[in-house]
Amino acid sequence: MSDILVSKNKLRAKIYWWLERPDREAWGPKLLEVALVVLIILNVGAVILETVDSIYQSWEGAFNVFEGISLCIFILEYLLRLWIVPENQDSPSRISWMRSPIAIIDLLAILPALLYLFIPIDLRILRTFRMLRLLKLTRYSPALGMLLAVFEEEAGAFFAGFFILMLMLIFAASGAWLAEHTVQPNAFGSIPQAMWWAVATLTTVGYGDVTPITVAGKIFGALITVIGIGMAALPAGIIASGLNEQIHRRRSSLQREFRKALEDGIICQQEEEDIEALRKQLGLSRRTADHIREAVHSEKETKIGATCQHCGKPFKAP
Amino acid sequence: MSDILVSKNKLRAKIYWWLERPDREAWGPKLLEVALVVLIILNVGAVILETVDSIYQSWEGAFNVFEGISLCIFILEYLLRLWIVPENQDSPSRISWMRSPIAIIDLLAILPALLYLFIPIDLRILRTFRMLRLLKLTRYSPALGMLLAVFEEEAGAFFAGFFILMLMLIFAASGAWLAEHTVQPNAFGSIPQAMWWAVATLTTVGYGDVTPITVAGKIFGALITVIGIGMAALPAGIIASGLNEQIHRRRSSLQREFRKALEDGIICQQEEEDIEALRKQLGLSRRTADHIREAVHSEKETKIGATCQHCGKPFKAP
Amino acid sequence: MSDILVSKNKLRAKIYWWLERPDREAWGPKLLEVALVVLIILNVGAVILETVDSIYQSWEGAFNVFEGISLCIFILEYLLRLWIVPENQDSPSRISWMRSPIAIIDLLAILPALLYLFIPIDLRILRTFRMLRLLKLTRYSPALGMLLAVFEEEAGAFFAGFFILMLMLIFAASGAWLAEHTVQPNAFGSIPQAMWWAVATLTTVGYGDVTPITVAGKIFGALITVIGIGMAALPAGIIASGLNEQIHRRRSSLQREFRKALEDGIICQQEEEDIEALRKQLGLSRRTADHIREAVHSEKETKIGATCQHCGKPFKAP
Amino acid sequence: MSDILVSKNKLRAKIYWWLERPDREAWGPKLLEVALVVLIILNVGAVILETVDSIYQSWEGAFNVFEGISLCIFILEYLLRLWIVPENQDSPSRISWMRSPIAIIDLLAILPALLYLFIPIDLRILRTFRMLRLLKLTRYSPALGMLLAVFEEEAGAFFAGFFILMLMLIFAASGAWLAEHTVQPNAFGSIPQAMWWAVATLTTVGYGDVTPITVAGKIFGALITVIGIGMAALPAGIIASGLNEQIHRRRSSLQREFRKALEDGIICQQEEEDIEALRKQLGLSRRTADHIREAVHSEKETKIGATCQHCGKPFKAP
C-alpha cells in the first residue's frame, strides 16, 4: 500500500518533470512540448480545411479520426496537469489551479467536443469552437504572456479608449442617420443600421459598400472622420505605450538582479542560473540580457574608477 | 423658523453625502450611482431604438413615458447638485459650478427636451440631441477624466497636428481637382467636392466611391497618400504619447505620496486613506498603486541596507 | 539729409516693432497679426470657392479685386520685412534672411501671381498655386515650428522609414504584377500600373477599385498586407516618438531655466520675463510651464528638508 | 614570386581601401560608392520599365545589354569583396563573411541571373527576382541598419504581435464563415476564402470587394473590427517603440564617448575622430551629436561650478 503511494508520488513527480518543470534542458520534455505545439497547430489547420467542402468530402473519415485522437490527448493532458498540481510548491490547490486563466483555456479546448456527447447541437458551430485550441499556445510564448500582462495592467486606460470609441461611434451613427435616412433608407434607415457605416469609417476600414451621398452627410462624415481617426487609434497607442512600460520594468527587474549578483564583484554559477531563470520568466530575449549585463558591468567600472568628489580619494572596490 | 433652517441644512448635507461625497463606501450612494449610470445607458438605448421604425411604431407610448420620467430625474438631479454646491468646501459658488464642464454637460442633457416646451422644433432632430446624455458618463470614469486632461494639456501639439492635416487636405484636394476636374466633373468638379476624396484618402478610410482615373491623378494621389499617412496619424500619436506622459506623472505623484508616508518607516491608517483617496482622484488602478508601493519599499530597503562608500558605515535608518 | 536718415531709421524701428518684435504686448501689433492671419485664411477660402463654377461666374470681379488687393498687401509685407532685417540683432544680412525658409515661403506666396505678369501661363494652374499662401501661417504657430524641428531632426530615421516603404511598394507591385498581369491586364499590366494597387493597399487606404482576383494574387496580397502594415506606419511612429523627445527636451530646457532662477531662492520679475520669453520661443503651453515650476519648487523643498546621509546634518539652504 | 605576393597584397589593400574602408574621405571611393548606388537604382528602374510592354518591345536589346553589364559588375563586386575579406581585422574568415546577411544579399543579387545559365526557368519570373538587388542599398544606409537592428532585437515582442494578429485573423475568418457561408458561398464559402475578407478588414485596408451582408455577419464584423484595430497596429507600435529605445541607447553610447573624451577637459583631434567614427557607425545625425556634445559640456560646467553642500567648497576640477 505504502509502496503504491511512493511509486504513485514518484510517477507524479516524473510527469511534473515532463510537463511543467521550468527550465528543463533534457531533450525529452522539450520534444514533448514541440509535439504538443505541433498538435495544436495541426488541429487548427484541420478545422480550417474541414470548411473547404471538396477537402472535407474526400477526407471526412481521416478528419474524424484525427479529432478523436486529438481530443483524447488534450483530455489526458488536462487530467495529468490537474493531477500534478501539488508537485508545484507555488500553486496552492487544485481548485485554484482550475480557476487560473491557463487552465480555463485548456478546459475550453476540450469542452465543446465533450458537450456534443451530451447535448446534440449543430456540429458545424461546434467545429468552429475547436478554434479555441489556438489559445493553448499562450502557455508556450513568454512574449504573449507579456502582452496579456499589458492588457491586464492598462485595462483602465484601455476601456477609457474603448468608451471614447463607443461615444464616437454612437455620435457618428446618429449624425449619419439624421443626414441620410430620407435619401438612403436601406443603408441609413435607423441608427443601428448607420452603425455599420460608422464602424467601417471610424476604424478607417472604409469598405465603401455604404457611403453618404447628400452634401450634409458628406460634410458630417468628413468632419467625424478627421476627428475620429485619433480616437480609433487610441487603444493601439495605449497598448503600445503600456508594452513599452512593461518591457522597461522587466528590464529593470533583471538589471536589479544583475547588480545584486555583481555586488561581490563576480557572477557565480548559481547566480547565472538564477538570472537565466528570471530572464525566461520575464520573457526577455538573451540579447536584451546581454545588453543589461554589459551596462551593469560598465557602471561598476565607472564606480571603481571614480574618485569621491568630497575627499578626492577613489571609492573602495567592493 | 431656525428649526426649518437646521433641518434644511441637514437635508442638504444628507443629499450631498448621497450624491457627491468622494470615497463613500456605504451601499446606498453606490447603488444610486449605479442606478444613474444604468438610466443614462437606457436613455441612449432608447434613442437608438426609436430610430428603428418598426420598434418605434409599436412602443411609441412607452418611449414617451420613459423619456418623461428620465427628463424629470435628470432635472431633479441637476437642481439637487446645484443646491448642494455650498456643502463642498472646495467649490466656491453656484455660479462657478454652473460654468464647470461637468455642470454644462448635465445641463445639455436636459436642455434640448426643455427647449421643445417653448420652441416647437422638429422632434426628430431633438431626439438625436438626447444622445448628449451619454456625456454624463464622464463623471463616473476617472480614466476618461485622464484622457480629457491629456487633450487639454497637449492642445498645442494636437492643434498643430490638425493644422498640418488641414494643410494636407487642402493641398490634396487642390491637386486632385487640377488633375481630374475635366474627366470627372461630378466627383472632382471643385476643390470642396474633391475634399471628400481627400478626407477619405488621407485618413486611410478609402471608400473607393471616388478615385482618380487619370494617370496624373493616380500619380499625384499615390504621392500624397504616401506622404500623408504619417500626417494623419499624428494626432493619434500625440494623444498616445501625451497619455503616456500623463500616466507617468500621476504615478510619480502617487510615488511621492508613498515616499512621504514611508519616511517614518511605516504607513499608518490615516496615510493609507490619504493615498487611497489620491489614487482614486488620479484615476490609477489598484494594481499600479501596488507596483509603486513595492518599488518604494524596495528602494527604502536598499537605502537602509547600503553602506557609505566613504566611511564604510551603513546609512542611518531614517 | 541726416534728418531724413534719422527719421528713416526711426520709421524702420517702428515698423520692426509692428511686424517682428517678439513678445509685443501692445494691442496694435497684435491686431495687425490677427489681420494678416485672417487675410491668409480668406485668400485660401477664395481659391477654394473660385473652383466652384457657379460661385466663380457670379463673383468673378470681386475675386479679382480681392486677389489684387491681397497681392499688394503680401508684396508690401515682403518688402517691409526685407527692409527691417537690420533691426534684428541676431539675423546678419538681408541675403541670408532671403534664404531662410520663412522668407522663401513669403516669396512663394507672391511669386506665382507676379510670374503671370511676365509669362502668360494657364491661369487655372496659377490659381491653385496661391494655395502656397497657406504656408505663411507657419510664422504664427510655435507648435507647428516644433513639428518642423522634429522633421528636421528625425530626418535620418524618417527617410529610412520611407525607404523601407518604397522597398515594400516595389516588392508588392512586382508580386501583384506577376500573379495578376495575365488575368487583369488593365489593372496589373505592368509594375507601374500595379503600383496604384500597392500604394492603396500598403497605406491601408484600400479603395477597392483594383483588387487581386486570382488565388495566388490574393495569397500574396494578404501576406504583403499583413507584413506591410507595420512598415507603412513607421514614419508616423518615428514622428510621434521624435515629437515626444522634442517636447521632453524643451521641457528640460525650461526646467533648467527655472532651476537657475530659483538658485537664490526666489524668482524675480526679470527672471519671470526671461522664462516667459523662453517658454514662448519653445512653443510650450502655460500649463506645462506651471507643472515644471511646481516640480522645481517641490524638488527645492525636498533638498532643503533632507539631511546628509554621511554626517546626518541638514543640507544648507542655498 | 615573393614580388608577386607583395604586389598582390598591395593590390588587395588598395581594393579594400576603395571598397570597404570606413570613413574614407577621398573622392575616389566616394564616387565609386555613388556609382554603385546609381547602378542599383538603374537596375530596379530597368526591371520596372521592362514590364511595360510597349517600352520592352522597343528597347529589348538595350535592356539585355544593360542587364549583362550590370550582372558582370555585381559578380566582380562580389568576388572582390570576398577576396579582400582578410584585409579587415575584425572579420575572421571568408566563410563567415559569406554567411553574413550583407554577403547573402550580394549573392541574391546575382544568383537568379546565374541560375538561368544552368536551369532554363521562365525568364519573366526571373526578371522580377532581380528586384532583390534593391536590398543591396542596405549597405549604404546606416539608418536602415538601425531599423534592421530593431527588428532583430524586438523579434520576441514582434512575433507575439504577429501571433495575436494571426489569432485574430483565424477567429475573424471563422466567425465570418459561420455567419455568411450560406448566403455568400462564393466569398465566404470556406475559412481560407473568408481569410481574404479578414485580412482586408483587420489591417483596415477594407477593399469592399467582399463584405458581410447578413445582420449576424455585420454585427460580428463590426465587433471584430473594433476589437481588432488595436491588435493590427501592435507590430507597428512595437517597432516604433523599439526604434525609440534603440536611438536612445545609441545616443547614450555616444554620450559616454563624449564624457570619456572630456574627462581631461578638452576633446583632442584623435578623440574627435573616434567620436565621428562612432557616430557614423551608430547611424546618428551630426545634429544629434551636436546636441549631445552641448549637453555633456553644460553638465561638465555645472559640476565644475557647483560647490559641495557639506563643506561649501567647490568640487575639484577633474
pLDDT, tens digit (0-9, with 9 covering 90-100), for C127-156 = 778 888 888 887 777 666 777 777 777 776
In this prediction, residue D188 carries a pLDDT of 92
In this prediction, residue D113 carries a pLDDT of 80
CB contact under 8 A, A206 and B204: yes
| Minimum CA–CA partner of B208 in chain D | D207
D164 touching A (Cβ < 8 Å): yes
Strand partners, A314: A307
Cα–chain-centroid distance for residue A140? 10
- Where a domain ends, among B115, B140, B165? B140
How far is C101 from chain A, CA to nearest CA, in Å? 29
How far is B206 from chain D, CA to nearest CA, in Å? 8
Cβ atoms of B136 and A149 within 8 Å: the answer is no
Distance CA B174, CA B191 (A): 6
Strand partners, B258: none
Cβ atoms of A19 and A81 within 8 Å: the answer is yes
In this prediction, residue B309 carries a pLDDT of 46
- Where a domain ends, among D115, D140, D165? D140
How far is C108 from chain B, CA to nearest CA, in Å? 15
Long-range contacts from C7-12, C-beta under 8 angstroms, 24+ separation: C12/C83, C12/C84, C12/C86, C12/C87
Give the confidence band of D302 by pLDDT, cuts at 50, 70, 90: low
Do A126 and A187 sit in the same domain of this protein? Answer: no
Comparison of pLDDT for D54 and B316, the residue scoring more? D54
Q: Is the pLDDT of residue A39 over 70?
A: yes
Residues 215-234 of C with CB under 8 A from B: 232-233
Q: Which of A139-143, C208-212, D73-77 has the lowest mean pLDDT?
A: A139-143
Closest among A239, A190, B297 to D215, alpha carbons compared:
A190
Cell of B110: 436636459
Highest-pLDDT range among A275-279, A303-307, B184-188, D120-124: B184-188
B55 touching C (Cβ < 8 Å): no
Distances (CA, A) of B180 to B175, C121, D39, D304: 9, 19, 36, 66
How far is A208 from chain C, CA to nearest CA, in Å? 8
Q: How many structural domains does chain D have?
A: 2
Do D149 and D24 sit in the same domain of this protein? Answer: no
Distance CA D134, CA D44 (A): 7
Distance CA A18, CA A10 (A): 12
Q: Is the pLDDT of residue A134 over 60?
A: yes
In this prediction, residue A142 carries a pLDDT of 67
Chain D touching partners, 3 or more CB pairs below 8 A? A, B, C
Distance CA D80, CA D14 (A): 11
Do C160 and C66 sit in the same domain of this protein? Answer: no
Q: Is the pLDDT of residue A24 over 60?
A: no
Do B146 and B126 sit in the same domain of this protein? Answer: no
Place of cell 452634401: A215
Average pLDDT, integer, range A206-224:
92
| Minimum CA–CA partner of C201 in chain D | D205
Do D97 and D228 sit in the same domain of this protein? Answer: no
CB contact under 8 A, C204 and A204: yes
CB contact under 8 A, C191 and D235: no
CB contact under 8 A, A287 and D160: no
Cβ atoms of A277 and A23 within 8 Å: the answer is yes
A175 neighbourhood in chain B, CB within 8 Å = 128
In this prediction, residue B196 carries a pLDDT of 94
How far is D98 from chain A, CA to nearest CA, in Å? 23
CB contact under 8 A, C207 and A207: no
Q: Is the pLDDT of residue D315 over 50?
A: no
Buried b (16+ CB within 10 A) or exposed e, A296-314: beeebeeeeeeeeeeeeee
- Where a domain ends, among D99, D119, D140? D140
CB pairs under 8 A between B and D: 7
Do A214 and A232 sit in the same domain of this protein? Answer: yes
Q: Is the pLDDT of residue D252 over 70?
A: yes
SS (H, E, C) chain B: CHHHHHHHHHHHHHHHHHHCCCCCCCHHHHHHHHHHHHHHHHHHHHHHHHCCHHHHHHHHHHHHHHHHHHHHHHHHHHHHHHHCHHHCCCCCCHHHHHCCHHHHHHHHHHHHHHHHHHCCCCHHHHHHHHHHHHHHHHHHCHHHHHHHHHHHHCHHHHHHHHHHHHHHHHHHHHHHHHHHCCCCHHHHCCHHHHHHHHHHHHCCCCCCCCCCCCHHHHHHHHHHHHHHHHHHCHHHHHHHHHHHHHHHHHHHHHHHHHHHHHCCCCCCHHHHHHHHHHHHHHCCCHHHHHHHHHHHHHHHHHHHHCECCCCCCECCCC
Residues spanned by the domain of A305: 142-318
Cell of A279: 530572464
In this prediction, residue B296 carries a pLDDT of 80
CB pairs under 8 A between C and D: 135
Highest-pLDDT range among A160-174, B280-294, C182-196, D102-116: C182-196
Mean pLDDT estimate for chain D: 81
How far is C155 from chain B, CA to nearest CA, in Å? 13
Do A162 and A91 sit in the same domain of this protein? Answer: no
Comparison of pLDDT for A311 and A43, the residue scoring more? A43
Do D286 and D242 sit in the same domain of this protein? Answer: yes
Do D78 and D174 sit in the same domain of this protein? Answer: no
In this prediction, residue D119 carries a pLDDT of 73
Q: What is the CATH number of the domain that holds D185?
A: 1.10.287.70
Q: Which residues of chain C have pLDDT under 70?
A: 1-2, 21-25, 91, 120-124, 142-144, 156, 232-233, 299-318
How far is B242 from chain D, CA to nearest CA, in Å? 15
Distance CA B217, CA B182 (A): 11
C199 neighbourhood in chain B, CB within 8 Å = 221-222, 225-226
Do D256 and D151 sit in the same domain of this protein? Answer: yes
In this prediction, residue D23 carries a pLDDT of 55
Of B160, B204, B221, the CB nearest to C147: B160
Highest-pLDDT range among A113-122, B262-271, B298-307, D73-82: D73-82
Average pLDDT, integer, range D169-191:
91
B109's CB contacts (< 8 A; 6+ apart) are B74, B78, B130, B132, B133, B135, B136
Three-state secondary structure call for residue A89: coil
A243's CB contacts (< 8 A; 6+ apart) are A146, A147, A150, D157, D234, D237, D238, D241
In this prediction, residue B300 carries a pLDDT of 67
A124 touching B (Cβ < 8 Å): no
Residue-wise pLDDT for C199-251, tens only, equals 999 988 889 999 999 999 999 999 998 888 777 667 777 777 777 777 777 88
Place of cell 494643410: B167
Q: Is the pLDDT of residue A156 over 50?
A: yes
Cell of B148: 480629457
Do C257 and C110 sit in the same domain of this protein? Answer: no
Q: Which residues of chain B have pLDDT under 50?
A: 305-310, 312, 314-318
B308 neighbourhood in chain C, CB within 8 Å = 309-310
CB contact under 8 A, A207 and C204: no
ipTM rounded to 2 decimals: 0.80
Cβ atoms of A169 and A202 within 8 Å: the answer is yes
Average pLDDT, integer, range A289-295:
79
CB contact under 8 A, A230 and B247: no
Distance CA D173, CA B181 (A): 40
Cell of B90: 472646495
B244 touching A (Cβ < 8 Å): yes
CB contact under 8 A, D243 and C241: yes
Q: What is the CATH number of the domain that holds D41?
A: 1.20.120.350
Do D205 and D303 sit in the same domain of this protein? Answer: yes
